[in-house]
Each structure stands twice: as C-alpha cells, then as structure tokens.
Amino acid sequence: MLKITPKIQQKLARPDHAVTEAEIIEAFANRPAAECIDNRPEHRTKSGLPSRWFVSETDRGRKLKVCYVQETDGDVYIKTAYTATAEVERVFWKYAS
C-alpha cells in the first residue's frame, strides 16, 4: 500500500515539488522495470532499509523522480517526488538495475 505521511504531503505541495499523489501513482504504474537503490547511510530509514528511486512519466508526460522505501510488510513510503532533470535521468539510466 502506498503511504504518504503528512510531512511528506506538505513537502510535495511546495512549489519546488508540486507533485500530487495521483501523479505518483501514475509514475509507479508507468515505471520501467529498473530502479536505483541508494545505500548511503543518510538515506536509509530508521529500520535500516535503503531508499529506492526511479524516473518515470505520468500519464500527461511529466517526468518524475520518485524516491521511496519499501518496508518488509510491503508498504511503500514515499520520501519525495519532483520533476526529474536531464542529469537525474542520465544518472538513473546509467545506474538502474
């Protein structure tokens, strides 16, 4: 199940993100089979799980970078989402597996 905490909802509503939950759901539905895993300690959750991220388009063609954590119970917690820059896309396709 997709989970977005109130703190993250506020972050997504800011002008520098301006991403809706519907867009995130579309990005998940349209995402490629590949993703990146961020194992850096500062990007892990309290439970020690790594952050995962991907670049995908919404149904209207907006390219988003979506960062999330998949908990052991299957829940997916969104950490952030925003319009993907060309550099973010380049990094994604270089390291995605």
**Contact status, residue 7 vs residue 36, Cβ threshold 8 Å:** no
Find residue 64's DSSP bridge partners.
56, 83
Query: What gap in Å lies between CA 37 and CA 43, rounded to an integer?
Result: 10
Domain residues for 80?
2-95
Query: What gap in Å lies between CA 83 and CA 37, rounded to an integer?
Result: 19
User: What total number of domains does the chain contain?
Assistant: 1
29: DSSP letter? H
Q: Where are the alpha helices (DSSP H) in the chain?
A: 6-13, 21-30, 86-95
Per-residue pLDDT of the chain (97 residues; tens, 9 = 90+): 999 999 999 999 999 999 999 999 999 999 999 999 988 877 666 677 889 999 999 999 999 999 999 988 889 999 999 999 999 999 999 999 8
